[in-house]
Amino acid sequence: MRVQSSATTASRIAVATEREQPGLGTPQAALGVIAFSLTFPATAWGLEGFGPWSLVAVRSVLAAVIAGGALLALRVPPPARRHWPGLAVVAAGVVLGFPLLTTLALQTSTTAHAAVVVGLLPLTTALFSALRVGTRPSRTFWAAALAGAAAVLAFTVQQSGGALSTADLYLFAALLVCAAGYTEGGRLARVMPGWHVIGWALVLCLPLTVPVAAFTLAQEPVHLTAHSVTGLLWVAAGSQFLGLVVWYRGMAAIGIPKASQLQLAQPLLTLVWSVLLLGEHLTVAAPLTAVAVLVCIAVTQRARG
């Protein structure tokens, strides 16, 4: 009981430290966005050697091993029973739902087209936050958020030729489940360290992801290449764990709505990585949209809810 009490006290101190340093919130959330911006290109690389189901299952298992090892090494006690339903929402939305749905979409969609869902994610996350957490951003905040979302959406749709495909069903479903997971994770990050949130969510999925990984690896062909292995390792360690650690810490410090607006830059970053890593081409609209997005981000960061 004494060890449990000491660990709980340490956890509360860590959360308080995160929230008392709001100046670090924006840089941490921004690092999370950079990590997430590499997810689609890395997934495209991973799909060169893995099937969609095995890629998602294996990435979740690897990320859970990293997170579980850190939790075990630091002797972090399990969360209180009242937090497990929220962790289940994080697991369903961020650990399983979003990776699976976007990976399925990327089988037939370009990364530019898939970036549409990321462009809409900040607005959706803010809406979920208003419903779940009770936040009430100002009208200026909403105007800037809508303008930024519209700019990103117009740009990414134009980049993909404006065509709709069956992959859009996966993308819009991924948008909803990820926004729910982000919102719940941001709420939990107010009462426990951010890395505990994603760490326990990943561990919670192990009873499902381990057998699924074993089954899908036996069913789907695997071709190990430098691209496929690098892509797998990044989506597991970078996107699924480290990126979410700094992302949840940032949300706890500056609030869910403001942190979510930093993701307005994510589609543009994804397109840059797509050019560098996948050889895709951009139009001259990219710098114009980048300026518009940066202005919207600046406004949302200054707006008071």
Per residue in 277-288, pLDDT (tens digit) is 988 877 777 778
pLDDT bucket at 14, cuts 50 / 70 / 90: very low
Q: Is the pLDDT of residue 254 over 50?
A: yes
Residue 210: predicted pLDDT: 97
In a domain, 11, yes or no: no
In a domain, 229, yes or no: yes
Domain residue limits at 66: 25-302
In a domain, 6, yes or no: no
Q: What is the mean pLDDT of residues 181-209?
A: 90
In a domain, 46, yes or no: yes
Q: Is the pLDDT of residue 304 over 60?
A: no
- Residues above pLDDT 70, as percent of the chain: 90
Q: How far apart are CA 93 and CA 99, in angstroms?
A: 9
Q: What is the mean pLDDT of residues 211-225?
A: 95
Per residue in 42-62, pLDDT (tens digit) is 999 999 999 999 999 999 999
Q: What is the mean pLDDT of residues 242-260?
A: 81
- Residues above pLDDT 90, as percent of the chain: 42
Residue 214: predicted pLDDT: 96
Cα–Cα distances in angstroms (integers) from residue 217 to residues 92, 211, 214, in the given order:
21, 10, 5
Q: Is the pLDDT of residue 7 over 50?
A: no
Q: How far apart are CA 203 and CA 70, in angstroms?
A: 11
Q: Is the pLDDT of residue 235 over 80?
A: yes
Q: What is the mean pLDDT of residues 102-106?
A: 93
Q: What is the mean pLDDT of residues 24-45?
A: 91
Q: What is the mean pLDDT of residues 247-264?
A: 79
Poorest-confidence range of 33-42, 91-100, 105-114, 234-243? Answer: 105-114
pLDDT bucket at 22, cuts 50 / 70 / 90: low
Residue 21: predicted pLDDT: 52
Poorest-confidence range of 90-99, 225-234, 249-258? Answer: 249-258
Q: Is the pLDDT of residue 143 over 70?
A: yes
In a domain, 16, yes or no: no
Bigger pLDDT: 139 or 256? 139
In a domain, 7, yes or no: no
In a domain, 133, yes or no: yes
Residue 166: predicted pLDDT: 78
Residue 18: predicted pLDDT: 46
In a domain, 116, yes or no: yes
Number of domains in the chain: 1
Bigger pLDDT: 14 or 277? 277
Average pLDDT in the chain: 84
